[in-house]
Structure 1
């Protein structure tokens, strides 16, 4: 092979390599440009008087006009820089309109005690080291459904018919809620109506067990999230047969078995 041919071959390979690099970089730039605008938060749980939360639109062109509004300003008010202020208990959807696109964030405002109870539930859930036990339900690493929910509220001074060292049963908590006027519903409520607040206790019935309203199980409502642009509500509880025993579940999957919903910290 002549020197001329070898030089031509090198030039050819370098040209192909250079074009491949350009193609790869160009593809990466296209993918980067395809990042859609989105909110930095799509769900916020707060309590009245809590410090405002700043919502931001990501991947938006600098100087792009953003219009902010709230479905219920009496609950959660949003300024035109995305700052959300919490006024009273309830649920509101804060929206940011960017061009033809509307971004949503569900804002739930509950009592401070309920907020702390939910934070406690999430801490239990994230620890992932709790076992289900009825015999040792007040143990350091074991709970059943009622002691889990009860221990979320104990630090807030709410015993729900139990004591500071012993949590009431699910049926006992439901009865206490009725006597104290804490009941907000006597059956499952639609998530779409946004009636549930973080910290609410959801009591479930099954068959006949001789207990109050045939209640056998309780879960704590921890809030809403968006799934495929639909609002979903989630509960947490300790479930037998699982380890870790504390699970996060879609509330609507068992809505038909709800016997009562209570708000211990109103």
Structure 2
């Protein structure tokens, strides 16, 4: 049929399993081969009824298959040793490490992808503390690795039958705090442990808080920011709330009461006991002198909400998740839950104090996600949209 006029020499031609059915399919196959030769060598002559050159003479019949193995002799990986950091991701009451991801260039004279016939991909790991998953696309090997502690893992990746050993050094890193109350004008040093590489520090809003090259945070203005430590392509952070000296003490006292004292409505006025409104009253009275109109004993959610309303302490729009996400709540703010938001003051039944934010981790685009913290509730607690929201002190 065709005579492919190749320059003299030896050729490694990658061919996958080819199934030829009938004369028409055979012609299509040979035409594709000719096009390949034209693209590669720029010369093809038409002559005779046989295929010469890099192809041996073959007689094809219907339903006949030709299997040619992928030539992996010259294929190598650009890297066979990797270093990675395990960065914590915080959940509600727990924490884990996010995965490490690496892209390794595959040095190959032809394009290799795992969805091609004959390019089988495998991935095995030695050790119990590491899991690894591999994918291959257009000569890029992508590894996704999960670990639990510091270790060195041996990974064996197999591409089209050829094994590639890879060594991965894994180190967990931690930040000294993922939540911080900082008095305006004061400083606090954040530390990252487990990291041997340079750290780049940054602030999400330098007008509120700045951070030095060594991780020293300074409170500049009342508000909330995220301080980020970047290690290579990994990020770990701390949500910082810049506040006043009094409000810092209010939040710390409220958190202590909510986590150390016993809940009891019957004994709410006694030391060592609290209910929701008594907690707010005791913390504000002891640390800031705010009594919500009751100097001798704790009020109720109804009396405290009315006092905030009458003293212009309510925040317009009330509680909104949008405000939480934008870090617009300030430590010491209190939210009232009501059975009927159309008549919230008469139907309020619970009050909770907001005490700051915690940085839980970063999304795939590198944006931090934060969660609200509460004096006597777990991280992530919230309220209905539009619930009464007050700021007893500025």
TM over 0.5: yes
1:84 CA drift (Å): 0.2
* Equivalent residue number for residue 69 of structure 2: none
2-side partners of 1:105 and 1:211: how far apart? 35
Q: Structure 1, residues 9-61: CA drift from partner, whole Å, max 9, x if none?
A: xxxxxxxxxxxxxx99xx975279522333222111112133x1111222111
The normalised TM-score by structure 1 is 0.75
* Equivalent residue number for residue 232 of structure 1: 371
**Matched ranges for 1:164-183 at <5 A:** 165-183=296-314
1:207 CA drift (Å): 3.5
2-side partners of 1:199 and 1:56: how far apart? 27
SS at match of 1:139: coil
Q: Structure 1, residues 95-150: CA drift from partner, whole Å, max 9, x if none?
A: 122211222211111222221111111211332x41321x4321123322111111
1-side partners of 2:150 and 2:202: how far apart? 35
1:88 CA drift (Å): 1.4
1:251 aligned to 2:365? no
* Equivalent residue number for residue 351 of structure 2: 218
1-side partners of 2:356 and 2:150: how far apart? 37
Q: 1:117 aligns with which of 227, 238, 250?
A: 250
Q: Structure 1, residues 152-186: CA drift from partner, whole Å, max 9, x if none?
A: 111121111211x2122212211211222222244
2-side partners of 1:30 and 1:143: how far apart? 50
* Equivalent residue number for residue 68 of structure 1: 201
How many pairs are equivalent?
225
* Equivalent residue number for residue 53 of structure 1: 188
- Runs of 4+ in structure 1 displaced over 4 angstroms? 208-211
SS at match of 1:149: helix
Considering fraction of residues, name the structure with more helix.
1
* Equivalent residue number for residue 106 of structure 1: 239
* Equivalent residue number for residue 30 of structure 1: 152
Q: 2:282 aligns with which of 140, 151, 160?
A: 151
Q: Structure 1, residues 62-88: CA drift from partner, whole Å, max 9, x if none?
A: xx3322111111111111111000111
Task: Show structure 1 runs of 5+ residues with no match.
Answer: 1-22, 238-246
1-side partners of 2:344 and 2:298: how far apart? 16
Considering fraction of residues, name the structure with more strand.
2
The normalised TM-score by structure 2 is 0.52
* Equivalent residue number for residue 44 of structure 1: 180
SS at match of 1:176: helix
Task: Show structure 2 runs of 5+ residues with no match.
Answer: 1-126, 129-148, 154-167, 363-368
2-side partners of 1:249 and 1:100: how far apart? 27
- Whose Rg is larger? 2
1-side partners of 2:343 and 2:226: how far apart? 42
Cα gap change, 1:234/1:122 in structure 2, threshold over 3 Å: closer, same or farther?
same
Whether the aligned pair in 2 keeps the contact of 1:189 and 1:195 (CA below 8 Å) is no
Q: RMSD across aligned C-alpha pairs, in angstroms?
A: 2.7
Cα gap change, 1:39/1:249 in structure 2, threshold over 3 Å: closer, same or farther?
closer
1:265 aligned to 2:387? no
Whether the aligned pair in 1 keeps the contact of 2:151 and 2:171 (CA below 8 Å) is no
